[in-house]
Amino acid sequence: MPRQRSDNRAFPLQGNSNFQVICLEQGQRVSKSVRAELHELQHAVLGQIYDEVYRRPLDPPPIVMLRLFELVPTSRYDLQEKEISSYENIEILGMLCAVELVPNQVPTHGKGDMDANSPSTYHSPTPISSQGSSTSNDTSVSESEIARLTAEILIGSKVAQSSLIKIDGQKSLLFVFPDLAVKNQGLFKLRYKFFDLFSAVPGRAINIESECTGGAFCVYTSKDFPGLQKSTELTKVCFHHKGHIYLS
């Protein structure tokens, strides 16, 4: 998806129900009512089955952007939300994003898998340890199956620390997953979950502040793998910042 530039306008809350606001009790945002959004800026297109011989990561590397919004009073009885004006003032240590592997459910009617390539976003402050029904994006896949695939099939660093990276002239909070690979052939998606370790309250489960499901990708056998694509501009930018991303 195209990168969404930081929008610092204030928006009225009335009638806007596509998110849930959390009033944090710990950390740098204590006592502030905030909403977090995750956006997959770049999703993997293909991968090669991971084994002892071929250890090529997903291509291109998945990259996710975090946006933070704060509730601000505009009058005695009215609140509006406004995106944080400068992410350079945010303490990013402890801001993490976990990734899970979800099998892509190909529709049996209509235009096949076209909709799977459009990332969807879901925001909910759910406990990181919660089990049970999956999100509305993955209603046909049980949470236990997603947990199994993530533990047994997905290889690499499954939790990323946020990085402040300049793209399109703006400093943005990005999560980069440079070394993910999948051990099985098939169609998959990645589900991302953002949480802040330093906002956690001792004795309670860590809240997932935002969640999104990314675009679909295909994992090929070594025989059928079509080869790597040319590195994207976003991949190059993140490579120069982080230095451990494979360029093709």
Tens of pLDDT, residues 128-154: 443 333 344 555 889 999 999 999 999
| Domain range annotation of the chain | 10-242
Rounded to two decimals, what is the model's pTM? 0.75
Written as six digits, the tokens of 210 are 């935002």
Instruction: State the residue for tokens 């009335």.
Output: 14
Percent of the chain with pLDDT over 70: 70
pLDDT at position 240 is: 80
Q: What angle do CA 241, 161, 82 make, to 5 degrees?
A: 90
What is the tens place of the pLDDT at every residue in 31-83? 567 889 999 999 999 999 998 877 889 999 999 999 999 888 777 777 788 89
Q: Which of 119-123, 156-160, 223-227 has the lowest mean pLDDT?
A: 119-123
pLDDT at position 163 is: 93
pLDDT at position 1 is: 43
pLDDT at position 216 is: 97
What is the tens place of the pLDDT at every residue in 173-211? 999 999 999 999 999 999 999 998 887 777 777 888 999
pLDDT at position 111 is: 44
Which residues have a Cβ under 8 Å from the Cβ of 9 and sit 6 or more positions away?
82, 83
Question: Rounded to whole angstroms, how far apart are CA atoms 224 and 43?
Answer: 21
What DSSP character marks residue 153?
A: T
pLDDT at position 70 is: 87
CATH superfamily of domain region 10-242: Velvet domain (2.60.40.3960)
Instruction: State the residue for tokens 């998606």.
Output: 189
State the amino acid at position 156 in one-letter form: G
State the amino acid at position 225 in one-letter form: F
